[in-house]
Amino acid sequence: MATPAPPVSFSSTKETTNYARLCRLLVDVGSCVLRDTFDRINPPRDLHKHLVAHHTKLQQLQKKKVLNPTQWGKLYPAIRTSVSSKNFDITLLTVLLRNICSLSPPATGWDALPPATDMSTEADIARVKYFRNTVYGHAKKASVDDATFNVYWQDIKDALVRLGGPVYGVAIDDLKNECMDPVFEEYYRELLKEWKRDDDNTKDKLDEIHWMLKEQMKAPTK
């Protein structure tokens, strides 16, 4: 009689906790830093005016399904002056920063890793997404060894501190050593997966818009 195989274990290990910790750093701290960056460019007291000024452009993004109905409702609530970036998710913040904040893409574009010499705001915004994709590359096993974890953590921390300021350095250091419950580990793994999926959908729609614009520019005028 064959000996039954031992049950598969889903308990946390140092490596799976490393992965979840990186997910939390990107989702929680990344959201706060991008929101602070957006608020510096668009002071909260005048946010509704800024959104009114860019209504046409944002409406085009909505029609192309870059912005979903929930995000649109947060941009333009029934009481316009009640709009708040606190209600914007990380995907929406990224779309707004790239499209209505007078920021120019880095030389390598929004979706590639900028050169280390480029310390601009735009470059660090691009780095947040790049590091998100890099960490998500470990999603299948949901584990990261200590050496890789420390490299990723420092790279992400550097970009977030440049964007958000030194105050985030302390919070990030605390987060690195904070105890994580297995339930929270799964929660942050799922949040990173959701962010990646939403962002991929947004990128596909934006690529389609850019392609259409290029085709229109190529078309001969009558």
| Model confidence pLDDT, tens digit, residues 102-126 | 999 999 999 999 999 999 999 999 9
Biggest alpha carbon–alpha carbon distance for the chain: 83
Q: How confident is the model at residue 1 (pLDDT cuts 50, 70, 90)?
A: very low
Q: Which tens digit of pLDDT belongs to each residue from 44-101?
A: 999 999 999 999 999 999 999 899 999 999 999 999 999 999 999 999 999 999 999 9
The whole-angstrom separation of Cα 27 and Cα 174 is 16
pLDDT at 123: 98
Global pTM reads 0.81
pLDDT at 138: 83
The whole-angstrom separation of Cα 34 and Cα 29 is 9
Q: How confident is the model at residue 5 (pLDDT cuts 50, 70, 90)?
A: very low
pLDDT at 215: 52
Look at residue 213 and tell me whether its pLDDT is greater than 60: no
Look at residue 143 and tell me whether its pLDDT is greater than 60: yes
Mean pLDDT of the chain: 87
> If you ran DSSP here, which 8-state letter would residue 142 be given?
T
Of 218, 212, 208, whose CA–CA distance to 66 is shortest? 208
